[in-house]
Structure 1
């Protein structure tokens, strides 16, 4: 029986749930949860989507993702495939890790978004020791919301939900504390240092229109790297690795191109090589100062948003 087409739109916010196949533990240890969050961050830097909340349990996980104009299927396929490869190598196993496709539901109102964040943050209440202490669960974004844990990956935009309670940071945290009904409020008040912060919560949605033609990407990167753009389609050409890698990276993340489209543009290369180029382009933006700002510079020049 054919599967139903996933309901998607380019400007949607999604409730994503991932679940392991059978009785397999999706995350066998804390390092696995850390790896999954790091993988989300890597794809976030590529596709420029936002994460509003998350909670990772041992056999499933919840994430609220604002796709910001990107294709949610491409985002989640990349994240889950990358994590599954890591998992199978680490535990010397083969086969599927995730149960069928990831589940997604469009978040269609602010009220639903806020309620959903509370549901996600209360997931650890079923774990021994966390029923009245869900704020202490490390692999949930609740601690980030309440200001008791630093977002070391800079992954979560907590402000988008918190500003529904108040623009003032202190008041928003206090109101969100009250909203999390299943938590021990006295304990939460004790552990949260409500400072007299002058900051305000301000976060707006920014939908990126991802329709830049590949020729413009190649032209932009060739000027950025001072390399000959015509070399992108030539095989076995040395000294243009940065050009090809950065082109593939931008095409994949900011132009909504499929792997096979990138393969065609780059002279009918294999999909595995295209994937490798995308990753190498990402690493260049992380490791080389010359390319650290290429994403923002590209967005300023080409990718219109609203």
Structure 2
């Protein structure tokens, strides 16, 4: 049986994650992280996309983005191919760098965008081994730009969209987006699935 065709809706944000093959580390040092961002910048120069949260860990990454111009799969092919070629050249690596396919889920409503982005930003403080004591202290996450309220050097990162949701919904008790992130508690898979439509696992 052939692979399921990916669904693309240009107005919808997707939570994309991809791990190293066999859960191996694919970012070994700061220069590797920097090159991944260069791959994102290169792809953005070819096809514009909007990202509202990201977290790059040693053996996987999380992106929350939408691609209004071309299918999301085209964006991810460019990013992953460019980084994979760099990694293989640098480390004389042969074989498959990533798992066979990335995971993507459509995030269908504003509150779910807050929740998924909070989950992404909490990744560095929810690990079995110590990585960071606070979300804002992890260098390879978009959270620090929200926390410090500074402009991102990445043209594809929009740090205004999520805070605007807080202001739009009066029932949200948290005063700002960072407070929402800090107070967020992971939901069960059943609760998450009521808001996120899985495209491919």
Q: Please report the TM-score for the alignment, with normalisation by the length of structure 2.
A: 0.81
Tell me the alpha carbon deviations over residues 211-268 of structure 1, each in whole angstroms, 9 at most, x when there is no partner. Answer: xxxxxxxxxxxxxxxxxxxxxxxxxxxxxxxxxxxxxxxxxxxxxxxxxxxxxxxxxx
Measured in 1, the distance between the counterparts of 2:34 and 2:135 equals: 18
The 5 A counterparts of 1:83-122 are 83-122=83-122
Q: Is the partner of 1:122 in helix, strand or coil?
A: helix
Using a 3 Å threshold, how does the CA distance of structure 1 residues 152 and 53 change in structure 2: closer, same or farther?
A: same
* Displacement of 1:107: 1.3
Q: Deviations over 1:144-171 (max 9, x none)?
A: 112255522333101111111238xxxx
- Asked if the contact 1:38–1:153 (Cα under 8 Å) also holds between the matched residues in 2, the reply is no
Give 1:100-249 correspondences, 5 Å limit.
Answer: 100-125=100-125, 126=127, 127-128=129-130, 130-131=132-133, 133-147=134-148, 150-166=151-167, 175-181=176-182
Give the total of aligned pairs: 177
Paired residue for 1:71?
Answer: 71
Which structure's residues are more often strand, by fraction?
2
Asked if 1:80 is matched to 2:104, the reply is no
Q: CA RMSD in A?
A: 2.0
Higher relative contact order (CA 8 A, sep 6+): 2
In the alignment, does 2:14 pair up with 1:14? Answer: yes
Distance, in Å, in 2 between the alignment partners of 1:99 and 1:129 is 23
After superposition, give the CA deviation of every residue in 1:50-86 in whole Å (9 maximum; x if it has no partner): 1111000000000011111321111100110010000
The aligned counterpart of 1:55 is: 55
Question: Does structure 2 conserve the Cα–Cα contact (< 8 Å) formed by 1:122 and 1:182?
Answer: no
Task: Report the Cα distance in structure 2 between the residues aligned to 1:98 and 1:9, rounded to whole angstroms.
Answer: 25
Asked if the contact 2:50–2:158 (Cα under 8 Å) also holds between the matched residues in 1, the reply is yes
Instruction: Name the CA distance, whole Å, in 1 between partners of 2:8 and 2:63.
Output: 16
Residue 129 (structure 1) shift: 5.2
Mapped to 2, the partners of 1:10 and 1:50 lie a distance apart of 11
Larger helix fraction of residues: 1
**Can you give the 5+ residue segments of structure 1 that lack an aligned partner in the other structure?**
168-172, 184-306
Q: Which has the larger radius of gyration?
A: 1
Deviation (angstroms), 1:42: 1.4
Please state how far the C-alpha of 1:38 moved relative to its aligned partner.
Answer: 1.6
